[in-house]
Chain A
């Protein structure tokens, strides 16, 4: 079974500054996907970014970027130029790429608060 660990329960950042969320995972798989989802107070789960394990290049989506270290099984999310709308809970998630067990396995989440 895959486990995903987010060691930071809460983080606070000033508007326009940068914050980095950490995520580590444990797997024996070689091919898999990693995701970051955000869940604002509305509780709607929104995809932030996706990374395929076979790609060495780190994924980027506008102000969101990841640092994927496959050997270290680490997948951190950097939010640049933080905005008030970024206030949310952020979940790191893992999905196998092969086989039949392709559910999303989530970490416990990190609550990010952006201060004005």
Chain B
């Protein structure tokens, strides 16, 4: 079974721009979670989607948003990028809520 895939793998943007990251979960998995990883803050939870509904949200500003499609694929969007948004964004999928999460390779975002 193919693992979690994330596209693109690398992105360079400038301040003020917006960006959309994509995540395709493991086949059959219905829950998708997003995490931000930075050297200073470590791994922080962004949000989680199950059956196209956001079930859980972390403590991030409204510039961070996401959605999930009927095929369980998920996107996250960051608007009005700031330098501090530079990070590795990790997507994880699980079969159901409160199940073991399996991670994708991440998207590395650099904001200049």
Contacts and interface: CB of A to CB of B under 8 A. Distances in A.
Interface of A: 33, 35, 37, 42-47, 50, 91, 95-98, 100-109
Contacts of A47: 100-103
A91 B35 CA distance: 14
B84 interface: no
A100 B42 contact: no
Nearest to A42: B105
Contact of B42 (A42, A98, A108): A108
B103 A102 contact: no
Contacts of A35: 100
Contacts of B43: 91, 104, 106
Interface string B30-52: 00010100000011010010000
A44 B105 contact: yes
A45 B33 contact: no
A51 to B, nearest CB: 11
A104 B88 contact: no
B90 interface: yes
Contact of A44 (B55, B101, B103, B108): B103
B74 to A, nearest CB: 15
B58 A43 contact: no
A102 B103 CA distance: 16
A104 to B, nearest CB: 6
Given A43-B88, A45-B90, A91-B43, A102 B106 contact: no
B34 to A, nearest CB: 10
Contacts of A103: 33, 45, 48, 56, 58
A45 to B, nearest CB: 4
B102 to A, nearest CB: 6
B97 interface: yes
